[in-house]
Chains A and B, each alone.
Chain A
Amino acid sequence: GAVVSQHPSRVICKSGTSVKIECRSLDFQATTMFWYRQFPKKSLMLMATSNEGSKATYEQGVEKDKFLINHASLTLSTLTVTSAHPEDSSFYICSARTGEGYGYTFGSGTRLTVV
């Protein structure tokens, strides 16, 4: 089946540094990818929709200058958390639709801890 590979699975960074999270579709082309964040014991919250070759569409309240999204190819989307702070610590998850008539495939998530 369709696989979305997300890396790293876990990262710890110092406050003020930037962290890049990669999301790759392994056996299909994803023109659109979605980025979510999830706080402990909470549901997934959509951050942005990433379209190949164009600017991402951010949900209300999400700082686009802080969460930089790049979707340079049909198989790769990246989320960069810039100048990370402890409140950015969260579980980040990417997703892509595998095709009409199919569901959405999710990455395994990235646990970001900012110290």
Chain B
Amino acid sequence: DAKTTQPNSMESNEEEPVHLPCNHSTISGTDYIHWYRQLPSQGPEYVIHGLTSNVNNRMASLAIAEDRKSSTLILHRATLRDAAVYYCILRDLAGGSNYKLTFGKGTLLTVNP
């Protein structure tokens, strides 16, 4: 499985943008880049995913480097409810419905009021 590297922790202030980086230098052409977040004592929550182009949804934006070896999850205005562990995961499209997500350590985001 292709691996990802994320900082262990990051800190942000409320209502400021947050850029969460992820390195995936061994990514293959069929790997989707997924982002999930987990609040304390809850199951992970889907945030966003993409393949090559930048993606936007109501929760966040995903900026993917041209060589696809890194990506950045962007929270445009952090709120206290965004404090969570954020996981960047590669999912092989060729794996089909049985493809399992492998979680790394993720980035613990702290949002200061």
Contact = CB atoms under 8 A, between A and B. Distances in A.
Interface stretch (B19-27, B37-45, B68-76): B37-45
A36 B42 CA distance: 13
A91 B42 CA distance: 9
B15 to A, nearest CB: 26
Interface size class of B (residues with CB under 8 A): 20 to 34
Interface string A93-115: 11101000011111111010000
Nearest to B85: A43
Nearest to A93: B43
A31 B98 CA distance: 9
Interface string A9-52: 00000000000000000000001101010000001111001010
Contacts of B47: 103
Contacts, number: 57
Interface in B38-96: 38, 41-49, 87
Interface residues of A, number: 26
A105 B45 CA distance: 7
A110 B48 CA distance: 25
Interface of B: 34, 36, 38, 41-49, 87, 97-106
Interface of A: 4, 6, 31-32, 34, 36, 43-46, 49, 51, 91, 93-95, 97, 102-109, 111
